[in-house]
Amino acid sequence: MEAERLIAMGRHALAQSRTALDIVAEAWQAQALAQAIGSQLALCGPLEVRGEARGLSEIGCGRGVIDHPVLRTGGPRAAQLTEVGDARGALTALGALLGEVGIALVGVACVTDEEGLYWQCIEAIDAADESNDRVRGMLRRLAVRERDRPPDAARGRAGPVAGPW
């Protein structure tokens, strides 16, 4: 399944989450998706973002995001990722999802009396924030590349026609 579609599914699932555990589960789903998108872009994304994408794919690895107990019931939605068709569009949407996840987790952390849930939220907030930093870095690199690209010959100016990246 295409990245932007999976991200939209994640945003919808987060919006429909009614309990603290549902929100935490969606946070880890989003993190697993960020890792999968990072892996995909590290392999076949624009050259300018591959290093940052590799870093995104590794965030949370020490925490065992893919094996997180919350993901075991239905498995990570990220396992359905087949392509990142539009890197800029997918990264923009992923950044929005990670921002929404962070806000939702802060809300859960502020109202819970359960220490274990509080620390799960803090861990997930850290992962979402670090992932969002990587996403913003990749978007900046893509913007620089677009700015520095020679004008398109199709618009009456000299320069090569750009590829999909």
- What pLDDT digit, counting tens, does each position of 17-75 carry? 999 999 999 999 999 999 999 999 999 999 999 999 999 999 865 444 544 555 545 67
Domains and CATH numbers, the chain: 3-147 (1.20.1260)
The whole-number pLDDT of residue 69 equals 56
Spell out a b/e string for 105-135, using b for 16 or more CB atoms within 10 Å of the CB, else e.
beebbeebeeeebbebbebbbebbebbbbbb
The CA distance from 2 to 20, in Å, is 28
The CA distance from 15 to 62, in Å, is 28
The whole-number pLDDT of residue 161 equals 40
- What pLDDT digit, counting tens, does each position of 122-151 carry? 999 999 999 999 999 999 999 998 887 777
- What pLDDT digit, counting tens, does each position of 63-109 carry? 445 445 555 456 789 999 999 999 999 999 999 999 999 999 999 99
The whole-number pLDDT of residue 143 equals 93
Largest CA distance in the chain: 64
CA 81 to chain centre: 12
The whole-number pLDDT of residue 68 equals 55
In this predicted structure, the answer to whether residue 5 has a pLDDT above a threshold of 90 is yes
**For residues 153 and 159, is the Cβ–Cβ distance under 8 A?**
yes
The CA distance from 95 to 81, in Å, is 17
What is the reported pTM? Answer: 0.83
